[in-house]
Structure formats: structure tokens, C-alpha cells
């Protein structure tokens, strides 16, 4: 498709989210953040499913001034929301048909999309006879079949089996790489942000906390939630953020000797296998994650409820400015 231009957003949904950012045509922007950060409210507002103030200009046209049906948006939500009484082919053909495309042409295009996602042989099946992964492929094909200038994906891989989600992530990434429109991908999974997206928008408490490439956000997370997603600890000290890996955290039952600059007292909230280590979630100020060997976990009796001390050597800490928040441009 020939993309009409990028997306310029500056909108607010009452008591939910206030966000200003831009996304270039051809870019895939992952929207991440904790539950309640405003991710779904943002995409629903752009889609016309929630009232919003401000603007969301796509190629210079303000979508907020148009009825939802006229915004030309492709949408995929968690749970597919397919028409249960229609076949997979009819579901995908529905969009083109509603825009005046002849039945034969719409059905042929729908079949091509289903073939691209490897489920062409299931074209005659209705949603109740499809697996979760198959149904989500139909939902994505349906969204793309209308050749939209903007694609909104709200947790499209959530709830799928790990193997199915992995395969669909690869397929989705391949299709989006050649898609000329703007994609907003709401996700709670760092793998989606790091492998599918070329830009990341971080929301926290209804505000834009950080924007950047996946590598920039992973290396210098501005929020504790993002740090957890990419497997880091992040601690704010005044105007600086300090990041360090879980395996750099020492754990003991007594206060450490000497005076390490970074040390915390906390209580183990969770202990679970993580590769060759045991990963601890410790409620401290702030909460931290630490990786210890199974032998150390056994020797120290580390289990939920255990009071512990944590400390980190200064040489294991990466420090960077905390001021990465505010209005951002997510551009290629």
C-alpha cells in the first residue's frame, strides 16, 4: 500500500491517559507499561471506541473528528472478536465487502490472506472450529485485508500457547516488515517489543515515560516495569537512574560487612527456577530481583517470607540520567 503519512497524537482520555507522540509511516511502535498505565485506553481512543480530547492525525487527517467506521483502521484485539456465524474466509472478506468490493473479488483477496498466514485450508471453517492460534491468524488477516493506513494490535498474542505465540510472532513480524502503514502494538511481553517493533513507547500512570528504539529502552529503562520486562533492576537516585542485572545482586541473611553504597533490606516475595539459577523477587525499596545458585538458595533457606539483605558493587551498576520522560517522537 502507499502510506498516506505518519501518525501524530496528542490526546487525553479522562482519568485514563494523556499522551503526545508521533510515529512514522512504515514503523511498528510497541506500547508497553504496567496494568492500568493507559495502553488500551490509548488505542481505543484512536480507534473511536472511547471519547478523547485533542487530536490523532493520520496523514494530516484528524481521526478524532471522524466516526469510528470512517477512520480506515485495522484492529486486532485480544480474544479475536470474529463473527462466529461466518467462515474464516467470510470474516476476512467482511471489511472489503463493507467498502463496496464485489463478493468474488473480496473472497479471492481473503483467501490470499489466509494462505499467507498458512491457514488457507481452513477458509471454510467457522470460528468455533478454529484453535486459538488459528482464530488469531484470521483476526490479523481480517485487519490487514482492508489495506488500512493504521493498524492497532491490542495484546494479539496474549492467551496463546507459547509455541503458537512464537510461531505467530514470527509471521506477524514478517508481514509488518513490508506493511507501509503505521502499527501500534500494545503488549506486555518484552519479546514482542524487542523482535517485532522498531520503536517503543512506554506508558506509566497514564503518561508517556519514555520513547526510543527497543535497544535504547532495554539498555536504559526509565521505569521499574520496563526494567523487569528486560530482566534488569533499576533504582532512582535523585536525577539519576542506576541499572544492574539480577546476577550482580548479592544476597545474605545478615547486613553486609563494610559499607557498600548500594544495599537494601527486604523480604523474599517469590523464588522460582530461572535457567540454571533461582530468581528471587524481593520486596524492598524498590523491589528487586536477584539470581542465586540453587545451592546458595538451599544453604540460606531462601523462600517466600525470608528476610534478607541485598547489595551490589558499584562497578556492576550502569548510571544514566533519569530525565527521559515527556512528549516523545517515535520516528524511524
Strand 7-13 to strand 17-23: parallel, antiparallel, or no bridges (unpaired)?
Answer: antiparallel
b/e per residue 165-180 (b: at least 16 CB within 10 A):
beebbeebeebbeebe
Domains defined for the chain, CATH in brackets: 7-220 (3.40.50.300), 231-319 (2.40.50.100)
- Report the candidate in 282, 246, 279 with the shortest Cα–Cα distance to residue 264: 282
Q: Output the nine-digit C-alpha cell for 144.
A: 490487514
Kindly list the averaged pLDDT for each block of 10 residues, start to end, along the chain of length 332. Answer: 74 95 95 93 94 95 94 82 93 91 94 92 94 91 92 89 87 90 92 90 94 91 88 89 94 85 93 93 94 96 96 92 54 42
Looking at residue 329, its pLDDT comes to 42
Does residue 6 contact residue 332 with C-beta atoms inside 8 Å?
Answer: no
Query: What SS3 state is found at 234?
Result: strand
Looking at residue 69, its pLDDT comes to 87
Which residues have C-beta within 8 Å of that of residue 280, sequence separation ≥ 6?
251, 268, 270, 271, 289, 290, 291, 292, 297, 302, 308
Q: Output the nine-digit C-alpha cell for 71.
A: 477512520
Return d(Cα 101, Cα 94) in angstroms, integer.
10
Looking at residue 249, its pLDDT comes to 96
- Report the candidate in 263, 237, 236 with the shortest Cα–Cα distance to residue 251: 263
Q: Name the β-bridge partners of 57.
A: 8, 62
Amino acid at each position: 500500500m502507499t502510506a498516506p503519512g505518519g501518525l501524530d497524537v496528542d490526546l487525553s482520555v479522562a482519568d485514563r491517559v494523556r499522551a503526545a507522540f508521533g510515529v512514522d509511516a512504515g514503523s511498528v511502535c510497541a506500547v508497553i507499561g504496567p496494568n492500568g498505565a493507559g495502553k488500551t485506553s490509548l488505542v481505543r481512543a484512536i480507534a473511536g471506541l472511547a471519547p478523547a480530547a485533542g487530536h490523532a492525525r493520520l496523514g494530516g487527517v484528524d481521526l478524532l473528528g471522524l466516526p469510528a467506521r470512517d477512520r480506515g483502521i485495522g484492529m486486532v484485539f485480544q480474544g479475536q472478536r470474529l463473527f462466529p456465524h461466518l467462515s474464516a474466509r467470510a470474516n476476512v472478506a467482511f471489511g472489503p465487502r463493507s467498502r463496496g468490493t464485489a463478493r468474488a473479488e473480496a473472497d479471492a483477496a481473503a483467501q490470499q490472506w489466509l494462505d499467507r498466514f498458512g491457514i488457507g485450508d481452513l477458509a471454510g471453517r467457522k470460528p468455533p472450529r478454529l484453535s486459538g492460534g488459528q482464530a488469531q491468524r484470521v483476526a490479523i488477516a481480517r485487519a490487514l485485508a482492508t489495506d488500512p493506513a493504521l493498524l492497532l494490535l491490542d495484546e494479539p498474542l496474549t492467551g496463546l500457547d507459547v509455541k503458537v505465540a512464537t510461531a505467530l510472532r514470527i509471521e506477524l513480524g514478517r508481514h509488518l516488515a513490508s506493511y507501509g502503514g503505521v502499527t501500534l502494538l500494545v503488549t506486555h511481553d518484552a519479546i514482542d517489543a524487542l523482535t517485532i517493533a522498531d520503536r517503543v513507547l512506554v506508558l506509566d500512570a497514564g503518561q508517556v515515560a519514555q520513547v526510543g528504539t527497543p535497544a535504547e529502552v532495554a539498555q536504559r529503562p526509565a521505569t521499574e516495569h520496563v526494567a523487569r520486562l528486560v530482566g534488569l533492576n533499576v533504582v532512582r537516585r535523585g536525577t539519576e537512574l542506576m541499572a544492574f542485572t539480577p546476577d550482580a545482586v548479592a544476597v545474605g541473611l545478615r547486613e553486609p560487612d563494610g559499607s557498600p553504597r548500594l544495599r537494601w533490606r527486604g523480604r523474599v516475595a517469590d523464588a522460582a527456577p530461572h535457567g540454571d539459577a533461582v530468581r528471587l523477587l524481593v520486596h524492598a525499596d524498590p523491589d528487586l530481583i536477584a539470581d542465586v545458585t540453587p545451592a546458595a538458595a538451599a544453604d540460606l533457606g531462601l523462600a517466600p517470607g525470608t528476610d534478607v539483605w541485598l547489595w551490589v558493587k558499584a562497578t556492576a551498576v550502569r548510571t544514566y540520567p533519569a530525565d527521559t520522560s515527556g512528549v516523545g517522537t517515535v520516528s524511524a
